[in-house]
Structure 1
Amino acid sequence: MSVVVWSDGRLFSPDEPLVTGVDHGLTVGDGVFETCAVYGGAAFALTRHLRRLRRSALGLGLGEPDLDAVREGVATVLAAGGPDVGRLRITLTGGVGPLGSNRFPADEQHQTLLVLAGPAVPTSVSRVVRVPWVRNERSAVAGLKTTSYAENVVAVAEAYRQGADEAILANTVGELCEGTASNAFVERDGELLTPPLSSGCLAGITRELLLEWSVQEGLPVREAAAGELRYDVLDRVAEGTANLMMSGSIRNVSPVVSLDGAAVEPGPVSLEAQRLFQKRLGDDLDP
């Protein structure tokens, strides 16, 4: 199927001109976005995604997003996309702006809102490589899901060059941080740990749900303390004394079976976490 595009109250074809060349999201990456998985024509965890969209928009300094308009766009593209839709993308930018990084005054701003639906190819396992670049946990946009994705484009291109599907990054002080489009979990000593938000990682929706559901089900999954997960814990994964798992909106909960091109084993807690997530996902599509 092709991508279905909605903006400003109507549908557009994928090749139809839509965004002006001076949109601030295009010129300087002044925008935020969300990606949701779609199951049976419904966007998974949409309410949580919209809550994070608002948080990212306000954190970036954009105005209050019109979430009613977002929901209208979501309903329209899902209805138009049919049964093959697997992914929903919501993008909000600062709209028309100067060619530099400064914005127009608030009363002159008009946000651009795009909602797209298209296919997705989820996978039950992940293949990961380490890369030399780092996340800046002290960045002005740390923890915000912005459209400024050039760093991720470069890192995931390197992953694909090496035959993997994700790259995993440290932060500036040598802590494990995240993947380019996923959160990381390390299984060691019988429990599954994910880096804290202070590491600079994104507050992933799948990560959030897995932490909540694991507490409810008695599964040993928790957020690590600051500094508890160093990047060199991946050496233990490579040696087979620890295990790695990634989470994200399209990959869901995905044990790692390859690190830097070498096979590694999924851990038992990781596999149980994957089963738990799939089970709870079927219980409620907007948890």
Structure 2
Amino acid sequence: MSTRIAYVDGTWFDDARDATIGVLDHGLLYGDGVFEGIRFYGGQPFALAPHLRRLRASARALLLDVPWSDEDLGALCREAADRTGLADGYLRLIVTRGAGALGVSPHTCERPTLILIGAPLTLYPADVTRAGIDVVTSALRRAAPDALPPQVKSLNYLTSVLAAIEARRQGAHEALLLDGQGRVAECTADNVFVVVDGLVRTPAAADGALRGITRDHVIDLLRADGIAVQEAQLVLADVWTADEAFLTGTGAEVVPVARVDGRAMGFSPGPITRRVQELFTASVRP
């Protein structure tokens, strides 16, 4: 059995490559849908309730119906984790507007499409994760909050896709995105933290960053450990001159940053970054 499985509207596929959706699905045609990436550890989905809550909030912002209960979606996620045969892995839960006529108006879409993928996920090799990743600042900008609010986790990730291509072409692992005013927002799929003189700082969610589930979890872990965390407006120089920097995300978990735009961090990983990794690893095991 493949470790990459999928579910589409009531049908399970033992190999995700065999799963299909219709070509008239508005998720495919227009990016009209929402999703959540969910880690599972020891076969159990992590932070499932906050993920489902955010999925529903994103869908409500898009006036997208999610007719399945949290109990049904939770049971589906647990079954997907079990079907992969993996102890630890990744789930991608997707709700699209569903199939409809050509044209951006969704009024012809009769019902949403529910998709769930289960698979292993490792974003960076182990040696890179230990030593720290290279980050470059993208020439692109995060959309303004009054254009596409960052809190809506929609299927439109084209800015992140282009920024990721830009980073790889420059020999880096990840790209840092600023907002229209030049403030630090986030990376392509990760939240950003910097450390200066023992104070941990991260951009406020209002500054174009998605309020990440892992981000909030890490903030809670740090504060419970007696480490000060401040949500603040950051500019690029704050990142360039930090003692430490790290990224958080469902896919990335906690990853140290070694360099930003060719500038080495003071430490990589630094003592607080290592402490975050320890606290995070201890917290996710059921």
Q: Does 1:219 align with 2:258?
A: no
Which residue in the other structure is 2:91 paired with?
Answer: 88
TM-score, structure 1 as length reference: 0.88
Q: Partner letter of residue 112 of structure 1? A: T
Which residue in the other structure is 2:171 paired with?
Answer: 163
Q: 21-30 or 181-190, which moves further after superposition?
A: 181-190
Separation in 2, partners of 1:47, 1:6: 20
From the superposition, tell whether residues 10 and 72 of structure 1 become closer, same or farther in structure 2 (CA, over 3 Å).
Answer: farther
User: What secondary structure sits across from 1:92 in the alignment?
Assistant: strand
User: What secondary structure sits across from 1:275 in the alignment?
Assistant: helix
Separation in 1, partners of 2:12, 2:49: 23
Q: What whole-Å deviation, never above 9, does each CA across 1:98-135 have from its counterpart, x for those lacking one?
A: 32221116xx6301010110111155343311111111
Which residue in the other structure is 2:209 paired with?
Answer: 201
TM-score, structure 2 as length reference: 0.88
Separation in 2, partners of 1:150, 1:122: 19
- Asked if 1 retains the 8 angstrom alpha-carbon contact of 2:27 and 2:97, the reply is yes
Separation in 2, partners of 1:151, 1:201: 13
- Asked if 2 retains the 8 angstrom alpha-carbon contact of 1:59 and 1:141, the reply is no
- Asked if 1 retains the 8 angstrom alpha-carbon contact of 2:191 and 2:209, the reply is yes
Out of 218, 226, 235, which is 1:230 matched to?
Answer: 235
Separation in 2, partners of 1:141, 1:65: 23
Gaps of at least 5 residues in structure 1 are none
Separation in 2, partners of 1:69, 1:20: 24
- The percentage of aligned residue pairs carrying the same residue is 34
Separation in 1, partners of 2:260, 2:36: 27
Q: Map 1:47-66 to 2 at 5 A.
A: 47-66=49-68
Out of 142, 145, 157, which is 2:150 matched to?
Answer: 142
- Residue 194 of structure 1 deviates from its aligned partner by 0.7
Out of 135, 139, 144, which is 1:132 matched to?
Answer: 139
Number of corresponding residues? 274
Q: Map 1:22-101 to 2 at 5 A.
A: 22-66=24-68, 67-83=70-86, 86-101=89-104
User: What secondary structure sits across from 1:185 in the alignment?
Assistant: strand
Which residue in the other structure is 1:278 paired with?
Answer: 281
- Asked if 1 retains the 8 angstrom alpha-carbon contact of 2:34 and 2:95, the reply is yes
Q: 26-35 or 63-72, which moves further after superposition?
A: 63-72
- Residue 263 of structure 1 deviates from its aligned partner by 4.2
User: What secondary structure sits across from 1:58 in the alignment?
Assistant: helix
Runs of 4+ aligned structure 1 residues displaced above 4 Å come to: none
- Asked if 2 retains the 8 angstrom alpha-carbon contact of 1:84 and 1:119, the reply is no
